[in-house]
Amino acid sequence: MKKYLILFIMAIVALILQTTLFYEINIAGVKPDIILVLVICISVVCGPRHGGFVGLTLGLLEDLYLGRFIGMNSICKGTTGIIVGWFTLGAFSENLLVPIISVFLGTVLNGLIYFISGKILGLNWTMNLWLWNTVPLAIFNMCLVPFIYHRFYYFAQGLGEYRINPEFWERFS
């Protein structure tokens, strides 16, 4: 139970960072999607089932927090989590190159799913808009991976076998 509480706290921190601190960072017209990076990293380490569930949950949390197109981020991030997790099942996830490539391709996939969902809903988006937003976002997200992946890997391996601070958790037992 503690491991899921830590994962939930990580998601809340990622959402807060994404909408406050990283909201001001704007490179090539895009802002990083830390929640998507978290979903893809979980998919790489834990597989498609956990990646899809975390993607659906965090996407819905992001939709409720931001209040636009409720359910769209949930579907897109959940589907991305499942597909990336499925493609990386046999990958050597300890190698940093695996999550870097996975985040790049997963971000492109998520953008494509988001674009197709928007077109189905009748939004007037062009393929050019998708291209000019998704590729810089994929590069931006890919650059975040080396800073967060190794610490996250040891935590997420088995969804929480790595203990951050044992004395802290003894207070709640």
3-state secondary structure the chain: CHHHHHHHHHHHHHHHHHHCCCCCCCECCECCCHHHHHHHHHHHHHCHHHHHHHHHHHHHHHHHHHCCCCCHHHHHHHHHHHHHHHHCCCCCCCCCHHHHHHHHHHHHHHHHHHHHHHHHCCCCCCHHHHHHHHHHHHHHHHHHHHHHHHHHHHHHCCCCCCCCCHHHHHCCC
Q: Is residue 160's pLDDT more than 70?
A: no
Residue 27 lies in a domain: no
Residue 117, domain extent: 2-11+33-159
Residue 69 lies in a domain: yes
Residue 124 domain flag: yes
What average pLDDT does the segment 110-130 reach? 89
Confidence at 163, pLDDT banded by 50, 70, 90 = very low
Q: Please check whether residue 118 lies inside any domain of the structure.
A: yes
**Assigned domain for 164 exists:** no
Q: Which pLDDT score is estimated for 102?
A: 95
Residue 171 lies in a domain: no
51 pLDDT above the threshold of 60? yes
In a domain, 169, yes or no: no
Lowest mean pLDDT among 35-39, 47-51, 158-162: 158-162
Task: Please state the pTM of the whole predicted model.
Answer: 0.83
- Domains identified in the chain, total number: 1
- What's the whole-number average pLDDT of the chain? 83
* In a domain? residue 62: yes
CATH number, residue 47: 1.10.1760.20
